Structure 1
């Protein structure tokens, strides 16, 4: 049985939220309150944005806020400096891992990735520079990935004596097919984003890093202005939470669609179309979700709590 989650305090401005190794800004930057597009930036440029436990905690904190903040419609994820993310910080190694039973361990990259995956707001990953390992797997739950043609990307785990992490064995083959995924994980090589080995992992690529980020922001703005957040989220969940057969899927999407026909976002979308104007979508999961939502069984993937050390 899942326990009740702690309440989340939504900040007036995300630019005032204190985080380590991660920066959050509005678009446009400096807006006094949260904007429809929020930019999350990996912020260790001196270390090529190599992943830290502080980043994991920052993502779990900020994505939980973005998930329930109705002011925010789209998240753009990018990196500071020349590289998007060099993967795990190998200089720190794994010495900081807590001693625990093998089956109780929860991969820190996986916790970051699931924070993105479970957020109802879509993420556009703007990989303005090269990325390997965890730098790649953290982008897999994003709805859109945009790469730089001058950069190299790869799943280099076998070249470091490691296996896949961050739930990437779930995401990667579903995004690019088993054949491409097996090639990337067997060779551990790095390739430009338009390499055939990536399939359509990168939906768009651009020559310059600035173009990557600019396009991501442009696309995020368009989505925020034109797309129903609830319809978009439910559509993505119908893909990821697919029951597995055509018949079962028919039952699930029929129930969701039937509800959406008479939902207020549908009526607003049709009205805006005929009136030739931008829609003003206001439906929320809390107030307007289909009765069948969620149609999957929630999984408690947390660790068992431990007793705190007694105070002497």
Structure 2
């Protein structure tokens, strides 16, 4: 599901699952442990999240959704996912997303939840959020993370409502990513950013990040507690949505 290595005090996480580095519950469980390690081990400077091969990540492993036994199973999955995503979003240490390839859906959400986003300049790479074309909305944490990362309601509208996939250069123009680099520069640049941010007296970055993300994190906690966000998960059992997910999955496997 992923590989983990430690270089220069920085944890490098490489998504590795199937052709598209799809994200399973096991992937999130392993990443949750890594986030906790970064939070509690003073020797860890930060996390770099990247992928193997031609994909950063296509998003969630679609068979998980297709094979939900019932609504309760969907709720169980997303209750865990929401907790994981919030903790990833507020990780105390710098988290840099180094997108080595195609990025969509949960892959893009993880990128938005990171503190800085860099992407390879390969001409075939596409990035975006196509959920609306699949008949899917976002959960509470997913939506708040995307709004935070995209910075404005207009950017959120343009990315989420149109569901277009764009080139790295267009993503940079739209402010979706921070830098477009050659593939071999991704990890060195990510390391450089982490060290620049964390290697300061008193590690002031940690306090700054907590303050900057505090309001968004509180909105997530409040909405998860107060809103009926579980009922819309019945949408996964809509015949049209399920057929679309099955078609997309078959296309990925082909």
- TM-score for both structures, normalised by structure 1: 0.62
Give the match's secondary structure for 1:195.
helix
Q: Within the alignment, does 1:152 sit opposite 2:126 as a pair?
A: yes
Partner of 1:66: 38
Residue 175 of structure 1: CA displacement?
3.1
More strand as a share of residues: 2
Conserved? CA contact 2:92–2:210, under 8 Å: no
Query: Which stretch of structure 1 is more off in the superposition, 105-114 or 212-221?
Result: 105-114
Q: Within the alignment, does 1:26 sit opposite 2:1 as a pair?
A: no
Instruction: Tell me, in whole angstroms, the C-alpha distance in 1 between the residues paired with 2:15 and 2:82.
Output: 16
Conserved? CA contact 2:121–2:180, under 8 Å: yes
Partner of 1:237: 210
> Relative contact order (C-alpha < 8 Å, sep 6+): which is higher?
2
Distance change >3 Å, CA 71–CA 162, structure 1 → 2: same
Q: Within the alignment, does 1:192 sit opposite 2:173 as a pair?
A: no
Distance change >3 Å, CA 103–CA 75, structure 1 → 2: closer
Instruction: Tell me, in whole angstroms, the C-alpha distance in 1 between the residues paired with 2:219 and 2:81.
Output: 23
Residue 80 of structure 1: CA displacement?
1.3
Residue 171 of structure 1: CA displacement?
2.4
Residue 229 of structure 1: CA displacement?
6.3
Instruction: Tell me, in whole angstroms, the C-alpha distance in 2 between the residues paired with 1:164 and 1:197.
Output: 23
Instruction: Tell me, in whole angstroms, the C-alpha distance in 1 between the residues paired with 2:29 and 2:110.
Output: 14
Partner of 1:181: 156
Partner of 1:36: 9
Distance change >3 Å, CA 198–CA 165, structure 1 → 2: farther
Q: Within the alignment, does 1:203 sit opposite 2:178 as a pair?
A: yes
Residue 127 of structure 1: CA displacement?
0.5
Conserved? CA contact 2:94–2:194, under 8 Å: no
Partner of 2:114: 142
> How many correspondences in the alignment?
220
Q: Within the alignment, does 1:79 sit opposite 2:54 as a pair?
A: no
Structure with the greater alpha carbon radius of gyration: 1
Residue 178 of structure 1: CA displacement?
0.7
**1:118-165 Cα distance to aligned partner (Å, 9 max, x none):** 321110110111100011001222111101222210011011111124
In the alignment, structure 1 segments of 5+ residues that lack a partner are: 1-20, 28-34, 244-295, 303-312
Partner of 2:26: 54
Conserved? CA contact 1:109–1:165, under 8 Å: no
Query: Which stretch of structure 1 is more off in the superposition, 98-107 or 84-93?
Result: 98-107
- TM-score for both structures, normalised by structure 2: 0.75
Give the match's secondary structure for 1:136.
helix
Instruction: Tell me, in whole angstroms, the C-alpha distance in 2 between the residues paired with 1:160 and 1:237.
Output: 34
Instruction: Tell me, in whole angstroms, the C-alpha distance in 1 between the residues paired with 2:92 and 2:45.
Output: 9
Q: How does 1:1-312 map to 2 (within 5 A)?
A: 21-27=1-7, 35-44=8-17, 46-96=18-68, 99-100=71-72, 106-150=78-122, 151-165=125-139, 167-176=141-150, 177-195=152-170, 199-206=174-181, 208-224=182-198, 226-228=199-201, 230-242=203-215, 299=221
Residue 86 of structure 1: CA displacement?
0.9
Instruction: Tell me, in whole angstroms, the C-alpha distance in 2 between the residues paired with 1:112 and 1:198.
Output: 30
